[in-house]
Structures are given as structure tokens and as C-alpha cells.
Amino acid sequence: MARILITSALPYINGIKHLGNLVGSQLPADLYARYMRARGHEVMFICATDEHGTPAELAAAKAGKPVAAYCAEMHRVQAELAQGFGLSFDFYGRSSSARNHALTQHLARQLGEAGLISVITERQMYSPADGRFLPDRYIEGTCPNCGYERARGDQCEECTKQLDPTDLINPRSAISGSTDLELRETRHLFLRQSALRETLDKWIDSQTGWPVLTTSIAKKWLHDGDGLQDRGITRDLDWGVPAQFDGAPWEGMEGKVFYVWFDAPIEYIAATAEWADAQGLDDSAWQRWWRTDQGADDVRYVEFMGKDNVPFHTLSFPATLIGSGEPWKLVDYIKSFNYLNYDGGQFSTSQGRGVFMDQALDLLPADYWRWWLLSHAPENSDSEFTWENFQASVNKDLADVLGNLVSRVTKFCRAKFGAVVPAGGDCGPLEDRLIADLEAGLRSYQTAMDAMMVRRSAQDLRALWVLGNEYLQEAAPWSTFKSDPDRAAAQIRMALNLIRVYAVISQPFIPGAAARIMEAMACDDWSWPGDLRAALGALPQGHGFDVPDVLFAKITDDQRTEWAERFAGTRS
RNA sequence: GGGCCUGUAGCUCAAUGGUCAGAGCAGGGCGCUCAUAACGCCUUGGUUGGGGGUUCGAGUCCCUCCGGGCCUACCA
């Protein structure tokens, strides 16, 4: 039994996430976590809300709430949605937790004492009207290159030219619109990533089998231009982990907090500590996952994230852990995803374009979304959600291939033998062949799941479901029942057991439906089918069951049309 | 501008440099009647974006052009 540590990129706190966010990290991470647990491994699956930074403060202000209250509320909302989607986190923490404050400050001090933090004075735009320093993108003005009047301080979206806020003509605050902006001096801590460049480069070279998307982004940052640059790790904000604290090896950082991207990954560790606290366990309980001197050398650590998160997980966070000089567990595999687009464009929070997690659950059970999103996960390139494709995939795969199989088998049995696993008859060559096909298919499925090949896994699972329909067609118990009822009994006994096996192996993808099947089968034996022949005898002769309600109702054309209109958002 | 990814059947995607480029869906035909008008079998469909090159052999490697996407360090 292996120990597997799984983290999903942390969803940002400032609103409900859309399906693109979900499929980029939390959902595939959940698939992997569920699968590994089902295979009997010890899993620690961690996620948390990412609560610091300028957007959180602005969102709180817009909501008219103190930022702490706003974050607490949004954490609760996101946690409920995660539960609604069946995301099986062992703990869903908060980056604003006391544990993260303490650990972030601890690691910063370690880095400071190792000489890996420098204090740099720089000049940044300050807005007296807003009472805050403004990140580059929160300054708008006219692009000096193309004349676009709503260019942002980091880049003009019209001509794509990279800008500095001071380049803008008629700069103004994107928040208040105030043109009263001034350059103010401010001091910040910088993480001296450049000093760890070779170490990081060698570490990444030593990893094998990482997705191209992961390594190419890391290599770009390591070798582009002057190479890996130092990174500011503090901000002039109120809400966050204070950068000045007892024992800090620097001074003058009063009123500043650590940069959200410094403390967010640390929350992976802190959340595991939060888990231990919640369980009433001592520090050794979480340290055995994270400290290589406490047993974490045996842990396999896998991170899931969208491609925009890769630089922080391949460089900044490892630099933080390595630079601390302490024996922290580093990631073993980074599974990164491209983006999911929505019907010809991008999901857009501001335009209300696309489907968001709360809306999705209002329309359909989580399994529909889980199945479509995972079977179309943007692994090799960006992929696209369309209602036509969603309807077709869900109706065909879930309703017709799997749902109908369960329905036809259970209803036939009830009609001919009663709602019990029928006795009598023996298996023959047809069943031998079915088992051989299932074994081959299951091996393929497991190989894909082990390798986190998400789409491939979904294909393999579907192919396993199809075997059930093929078997029924050939066995034709409705026909054999007339000539040889014992034979029909053996066939249906096989089919009922097959349904149970499907529930077990499908559970990582569609946990809700799997649970309903198991409930209908009156079975709670979720053990993974190591020996298929034995697994197909788990429901003994005479075992009672219920015919479940329709597992997956089909999406109608009318529904599809209405939803497509409702979520189109405001066209630009 | 630079870097990376991508382009394969109507659609969504496969294919360690090696049999006739394969699946699912959609389309066509046949079968079955247990089932959510579901299932099974057969089948149509391709100059692998264009062009050049390397090779006994290229969807795969190289060059070039065209299209789509992402990243580019102060959003997270």
C-alpha cells in the first residue's frame, strides 16, 4: 500500500468558479484521489480557498463586507459546492488560517536566515482616492502604442503590447477612476529565486514523465532572458499574513503582508496541519506527509493545476521549500491542464458567460458534469464545451450505455425471477469470454488511471460498460428463459454482478450513480475487483435487490436549447 | 517581438519512425424485443492544414508557409 499526497490548485476566494476552473484542477484531482483510495492506497487529498490579494479585498468592498467576513462566507459557499460536486477532499482549508500564518512566517524566516530574501525599495503607483497601492493591471489609460483607451497597466488588450503603468496616457485607477495617482516609494521582500536557479534546473531535469506543458513552462522561466528572476513576496495590503513578526530577520515591513502566491502553496502543508487539528491529532500526523525526516520519503506527491499555475508550482514553491533548508517533501508529479472554453469563446465571470458551479448543480446532478468534463478534459490542448456535445455525450454514455444496462437487467430479473439474484444454472464459454474481455479492459483502464490519462480512462471505462450490453445481446436471457430457465438464471446472475462491478470501478467518475447502484443492489462491498471471476460472484444466489429509478434522465432538446440561451451571457 | 502547444473522418479525439491511419458520436443498412425508442452487428466517410526535405519507410523527424490557442514574471 502506497501513500499518496494529492493537492488541487487552490480556488480563489472572490466568487464561484466556473466549469473551466473545476476541470483544470479540483475535478481530475478528485478522480485520482478516489481511484487511489479504491485501489487500497492511503490518500491525503488537500484543497483550500486562496483568500489573500487585491481581488479579494476589492470583492469584499464591493459586497459591502469586511474582508474577513466576506472570505469566511465565500469559503463556506465554495466548500458546499465542492461537496455538491462530490469532491472528496480530506480537508478543505483556508489560506487565511492560523496554521498558514504560522507556517508562512516560519518559512520566510528560514529563507531570510539562509540569505535568500532581500529587501528592495521600489516605486509603485499609489492611489490616494482608493487608499491603496495599485497593481499594474488595476491602472487603466490610453495605450501609447495603439491609442486604445482602456489599456491596462501591464498590457494593452487591444494591441497586446506589454506596458508599464507609467507608459499609459491619462492613467486612472481601474477601481475608482481617480486620476490622482502618484509614484510612491515602498520597500518589499524579494525571494532570491535566482540563487536557486541551478538547483531548480537540476531538480526539474531529474523528474521523468512530466507533461510537456509542465516542463516547457518551467524551462522557459528558468532560461528565458536573464534567467529566473527574483520575485517580490510582499504587498502593501491589509488582509494577509503579516510580513513583520516576532523573530523576522528584517525590519520595516510593518503594515505589509506576504504576497498571495507566496502563502497559497504553503497552505497545502498548512491545510494538512489544519486537518490534523480537526481530527484531534498531533503534529506527527501531518508531518508524516510533508517532512521527509518524519516518513514522507515514502509519499508520492501529485499536484493538479491549470497551466497558468505552473510557474509557481515548478519554481517559486519548490524554491521556498528547498531554500528553507528543511526536509520538506517536494512534488513528484505535476499534472497540468489547458483551458476549457465555452461555446466558441472563453468562460467569462464579468460577462456572465458560461456555466458556473452553482448553476451547474441547479440544472443536473454532479455526475453528468463530472462525466462530461473528465471525458473531455483539456489535457493536450484547450477544449470546448458545447451544449450539443454535452447532451450527446451524456445521453449516450450515461443514459443509454450504462443507465439502460442497469435498467434492462434489473427489470428483466424482477419480471422473470423476482427481485433476487436467481439460483441455478452454470457459466459457460460465453461467460469465460466476457471475463477475459473484462480483464483486458480493466487492465487498460487501470493503466490509464495510474498514469492520470483522464480522457483515456473515460474511454476505457465506457468500453467496459459496452461489454455488458454485448454480453446481454449474445446471451439473450429473454430467449434462453423460454428454453432453459436455469441458463437464463446464470446469465442474469452474471449480469447483476456485472452491474455491481461497474458501480465499483465507475465510482471515481460518477460517485453518485455508483452509490445508487450499490444501494439498489443492497451491497456495500466496494472492494476493487482484483480477481474478476470472484468479484462477479459477490452477489450470491438468493440475494435481494431493488430496481433503481432511472439512473440518468436524458437531456431533452428543449432543455439544451433553453440552457444554451440562458448561459450565453452578454454578447460583446 | 520571444517561447511553447495545436491542426488527423461532418463532430470530439487516438495512433514507441513500421500491417490497410483507428475509436466514440452523427449518417446508412440489418438484427433483437429484456430495457430510458434503449441494445447488438455491419457499413459510408481521410491527399493526416499547404509545400519542400531526411529515410528502405513519415500523421510521427527537419525546414518553410498558413490557421487556432496559451504563456511572457505586479490578477490569481
pLDDT over 70 at A383, yes or no:
yes
**Residues near A559 by beta carbon (within 8 Å), at least 6 away in sequence:** none
**CB of A317 closer than 8 Å to CB of A329:** no
* Burial A337-364, CB ≥16 within 10 A → b, else e: bbbbbbbeeebebeeebbbbbebbbeeb
- Rounded to whole angstroms, the distance from the CA of residue A390 to the C1' of nucleotide B50 is 33
Q: Please say if the pLDDT value at position A531 is more than 80.
A: yes
**Alpha helices (runs of H) in A306-420, residue ranges in sequence order:** 310-311, 317-323, 357-363, 366-375, 387-393, 404-417
Are A439 and A417 part of one and the same domain?
yes
Is A328 contained in some domain? yes
Residue A125 pLDDT > 70, yes or no? yes
Q: How is residue A288 written as a grid cell?
A: 508524516
Average pLDDT on A421-430 reads: 93
Regarding whether A427 and A473 lie in a shared domain, the answer is yes
- The alpha carbons of chain A give a radius of gyration, in whole angstroms, of 27
How far is A100 from A262, CA to CA, in rounded Å? 11
Name the residue with cell 519548490: A318
The total of other beta-carbon atoms located within 10 Å of residue A415's CB is 12
- Nearest residue (Cα to C1') for B76? A12
**Per-residue pLDDT reduced to its tens digit, A321-350:** 999 999 999 999 999 888 888 887 788 777
In a domain, A568, yes or no: no
pLDDT above 70 as % of chain A:
99
Query: Are residues A504 and A408 both part of a single domain?
Result: yes
Identify whether residues A414 and A463 lie together within a single domain.
yes
Nucleotide of closest approach to A378 (CA, C1'): B13
The mean per-residue pLDDT over the stretch A215-236 comes to 88
What is the rounded average pLDDT of the residues A152-159? 78
Nucleotide nearest to A186 (CA to C1'): B74
Q: What ipTM did this prediction achieve?
A: 0.93
Please compute the mean of the pLDDT values over residues A552-557 and round it to a whole number: 95
- Do A184 and A206 lie in a common domain? no
Residue type, A454: V
Q: What is the pLDDT of residue A570?
A: 52
Instruction: Name the residue with higher pLDDT: A569 or A336.
Output: A336
Alpha-carbon gap, residue A562 to A572, rounded angstroms: 20
Domain end marker among A286, A313, A337: A337
Residue A178 lies inside a defined structural domain of this protein: yes
- Least trusted range by pLDDT, from A47-61, A203-217, A255-269, A526-540: A203-217
pLDDT band at A148 (very low <50, low <70, confident <90, very high): confident
The 10s digit of each residue's pLDDT in A278-312 is 999 999 999 999 999 999 999 999 999 988 888 99
**Domain co-membership, A406 together with A465:** yes
Q: What is the pLDDT of residue A488?
A: 97
On whether both A201 and A141 belong to a single domain, the answer is: no
Q: Verify that A165 and A203 share a domain, yes or no.
A: no
A466 CA, B45 C1': Å apart: 24
DSSP character at residue A381: S
User: At A463, which CATH number?
Assistant: 1.10.730.10
pLDDT 10s digits, A51-94:
999 999 999 999 999 999 999 999 999 999 999 999 999 999 99
Residue A458 lies in a domain: yes
**Range with the poorest average pLDDT among A65-79, A205-219, A281-295, A463-477:** A205-219
User: Same domain, yes or no, for A89 and A127?
Assistant: no
Q: What is the mean pLDDT of residues A423-451?
A: 93
> Which tens digits make up the pLDDT trace of A175-200?
888 999 999 999 999 999 999 999 99
Asked whether residue A552 is domain-assigned, the answer is no
Task: Examine the fold and report which residue of A337, A362, A390 is the final residue of a domain before the chain moves on.
Answer: A337
Q: Which pLDDT score is estimated for A572?
A: 33
Q: Which of A482, A542, A552 is nearest to A510 (CA)?
A: A552
Asked if the structure places residue A343 within a domain, the reply is: no
Three state DSSP letters for A181-227: CEEEEEEEEEECHHHHHHHHHHHHHCCCCCCHHHHHHHHHHHHCCCC
**Predicted local confidence at residue A353, as pLDDT:** 82
By C1' distance from the Cα of A11, the closest nucleotide is B76
Q: How far is the CA of A308 from the C1' of B1 (A)?
A: 21
pLDDT of residue A344: 73
A283 and A158 in a common domain = no
**CB A181 within 8 Å of CB A278:** no
Residue ranges making up the domain that contains A520 = 370-535
Is the distance from CB of A383 to CB of A338 less than 8 angstroms? yes
At A115 the pLDDT is 96
| pLDDT reported for residue A569 | 66
> Closest protein residue to B32 using CA and C1' atoms?
A473
Q: For residue A246, is it within any domain?
A: no
User: Could you tell me the distance in Å between the CA of residue A31 and the C1' of nucleotide B22?
Assistant: 27
Residues A436 and A530 in one domain: yes
Domain tally, chain A? 3
Provide the H-helix boundaries in A387-538: 387-393, 404-417, 429-450, 454-475, 477-483, 485-506, 511-520, 532-535
Note the pLDDT of residue A217. 85
CA–C1' span, A189 to B12, in Å?
48
Residues in contact with A87: Cβ distance below 8 Å, sequence separation at least 6, in sequence order:
A26, A27, A30, A47
Instruction: Find the Å distance, CA of residue A428 to C1' of nucleotide B72.
Output: 63
A211: amino acid identity, one letter: P
B25 C1' to A373 CA distance, Å? 16
Task: Report chain A's mean pLDDT, rounded to a whole number.
Answer: 92
* CATH number of the CATH domain containing A161: 2.170.220.10
Q: What is the CATH number of the domain that holds A290?
A: 3.40.50.620
pLDDT tens, A234-243?
Answer: 999 999 999 9
d(CA A408, CA A396): 16
User: What is the model's pLDDT at position A571?
Assistant: 37
On whether residue A247 sits in a domain, the answer given is no
Q: What distances in angstroms separate CA A58 from CA A16, A67, A151, A171, one per listed residue? A: 15, 9, 20, 19
User: Quick one: pLDDT at residue A281?
Assistant: 98
A293 and A150 in a common domain: no
pLDDT tops 80 at residue A160: no
Protein-proximal positions, strand B, CB < 7 A: 1-6, 11-14, 23-26, 31-36, 38-41, 68-76
